[in-house]
Structure 1
């Protein structure tokens, strides 16, 4: 058995696992004040609670794996300065946890963890050369080469979302211009929709968003209000629903994002020559609206030899991929 810890900017989840099977699961919000001083004690409490709910003693688990937003160094166990965890500057999280839990502890970039989880227990099983890409609020990735995770000199390899797709494209939060993340992520899709609405081109999309029933509006954070408030809150899921309803602007926006994703996939195929590319994350739940045009670009632009080898598939582990991936660190290093 293993303990998996999935640390995100808004949620903390902990589970006791046997392989990909969750024996217990504890979830909580990180809260607005998620400084290390406040959050690390909560991580420790959540680990103890997960063990208790699984009726497992610490000595019965092979170790603790923690997946966290990068940048981080998996070898030193230090989290540097993740954008969505303010105040986490050079935090030696592994050493801190080691004092509380005397078992092997490993930390890794959350996208790397997801890649390992899919490799061992999901869509990547049996494929020693694979790439995992998560397309969600941002875009991240992990590369498995000959059965080993490609980490790079400083542990930051696999930042697939920050390959340049458009030399003159939008500026990304990372500081680069034209990143895949700035073109094909959920954040990018929402930004393009809001820009179009603000420019007076999205009346039909805005009307569709306002027509969503009250329950859906709450889920999408689209409370009734002024036009300005609605503009600011249209998100990628809204665009996806509008595209399914046949709204032309929504389909155009998703088509552009999908083609950007396709170019990114072509780059991944040419650089890594993988047997499989596994696609996960919330944006991929849009299905053929995003996957179809992306695969068309792959067919048109990728060189025949590596294209004929690769299989592009959707991830299998669903919303628990972060937890399963974190627990997988124990099996991977063991």
Structure 2
């Protein structure tokens, strides 16, 4: 088989969001509309071969579900967590994926699927999706954060994604907020990811319960605290539970420090926040905005320019399609 190329004429693109817990493959039109998706567990703890196998199966499944042949597809774009070398198709390191050091990603998928594949860091990918077709449409500078299993960031300045000298730019989840804070998956201490991502939110709630605080959280999980997750804590907060509200208030405060740093350094038109934890809405956005207002008084940055992602859980899928659109030479919608 000769070298694969992107199909300039095909009407559809497959975009894939490789999450720490779940991966989502979607069929996307050239107008950015997601017409079909397929999800399956990532199984990140089982190593690169298993994850790549799951990616292949998800791509094939979503094409089958839509009734598409390979000739209908321009290519596949995948957002991959960690430090990515896009042109080489390699993941240098992914802190929350077991065994992911210098892993070839594109070539084994191309060999098994028979379509040209391009990759980029997952949050850079989601940022491109939001910038082309979502909350950032029409802006020239934008920062995106995703809050979930980890915390990532994508930075767009003067109309292009900032990748940096070694394509490691945008790792906003690994800025140090508390130097003596908890150990992060990257090996450092006190990263915002270790303080405000999924496990940290749950850990903050568990610590308060261990301190004897009264809460409805144990009742909501039937006494099994292993079932506790950010959504249950959000539900409790909306029921007026003081412990749960404190958890989100404290999490939003730390996130606000991280966002303030970005606002002060980059002065973007917009800061877009997505991911599963951002679904908590005002519970997380209000403390973020309050903290930014207090810490960015020397600038004209308006905290109301901190907005939720519009594409929701599909930011990464649409962004994956945008990776291919860029390879096809397509222009961003005005």
| Equivalent position of 1:48 in the other structure | 60
Q: How far, CA to CA, are the matches of 2:50 and 2:77 in structure 1?
A: 20
Change in CA separation of 1:31 and 1:168 when aligned onto 2, cut-off 3 Å:
closer
| Equivalent position of 1:267 in the other structure | 261
Change in CA separation of 1:93 and 1:104 when aligned onto 2, cut-off 3 Å:
same
Q: How far, CA to CA, are the matches of 1:309 and 1:288 in structure 2?
A: 13
Alpha-carbon displacement from aligned partner over 1:117-156 (angstroms, at most 9, x marks no partner): 0000100001110000112232111001122111112222
| Equivalent position of 1:217 in the other structure | none
Change in CA separation of 1:261 and 1:85 when aligned onto 2, cut-off 3 Å:
closer
Change in CA separation of 1:234 and 1:47 when aligned onto 2, cut-off 3 Å:
closer
Q: How far, CA to CA, are the matches of 1:32 and 1:314 in structure 2?
A: 27
The answer to whether the Cα contact below 8 Å between 1:270 and 1:306 also exists between their aligned partners in 2 is no
Structure 2 stretches of 5 or more lacking a match? 1-11, 329-334
Q: How far, CA to CA, are the matches of 1:128 and 1:103 in structure 2?
A: 32
Q: How does 1:1-334 map to 2 (within 5 A)?
A: 1-18=12-29, 19-31=31-43, 34-101=46-113, 103-200=115-212, 202=213, 204-205=214-215, 208-212=216-220, 222=221, 224=222, 229-230=224-225, 232-308=226-302, 311-334=305-328
Q: How far, CA to CA, are the matches of 2:170 and 2:115 in structure 1?
A: 28
List 4+ stretches of structure 1 deviating above 6 A.
Answer: none
Change in CA separation of 1:104 and 1:147 when aligned onto 2, cut-off 3 Å:
farther
The answer to whether the Cα contact below 8 Å between 2:20 and 2:44 also exists between their aligned partners in 1 is no
Alpha-carbon displacement from aligned partner over 1:225-283 (angstroms, at most 9, x marks no partner): 5xxx52x4433223222222222222222222111111111111111110000011222
User: Could you tell which deviates more after superposition, 294-303 or 79-88?
Assistant: 79-88
Query: Aligned-residue CA RMSD in angstroms?
Result: 2.3
The answer to whether the Cα contact below 8 Å between 1:269 and 1:310 also exists between their aligned partners in 2 is no
Give the superposition deviation at 1:317: 0.5
Q: What SS class does the counterpart of residue 301 from structure 2 fall into?
A: helix
TM-score (norm 2): 0.86
Q: What SS class does the counterpart of residue 163 from structure 2 fall into?
A: coil
TM-score (norm 1): 0.86
Q: What SS class does the counterpart of residue 17 from structure 2 fall into?
A: strand
Alpha-carbon displacement from aligned partner over 1:47-76 (angstroms, at most 9, x marks no partner): 233223333332332221011221322221
Q: How far, CA to CA, are the matches of 2:257 and 2:44 in structure 1?
A: 37
Q: How far, CA to CA, are the matches of 2:246 and 2:43 in structure 1?
A: 36
More helix by share: 1
Change in CA separation of 1:243 and 1:328 when aligned onto 2, cut-off 3 Å:
same
The count of residues paired between Structure 1 and Structure 2 equals: 316
The answer to whether the Cα contact below 8 Å between 2:14 and 2:73 also exists between their aligned partners in 1 is yes
Q: What SS class does the counterpart of residue 143 from structure 2 fall into?
A: strand
User: Could you tell which deviates more after superposition, 322-331 or 73-82?
Assistant: 73-82
User: Could you tell which deviates more after superposition, 8-17 or 252-261?
Assistant: 8-17
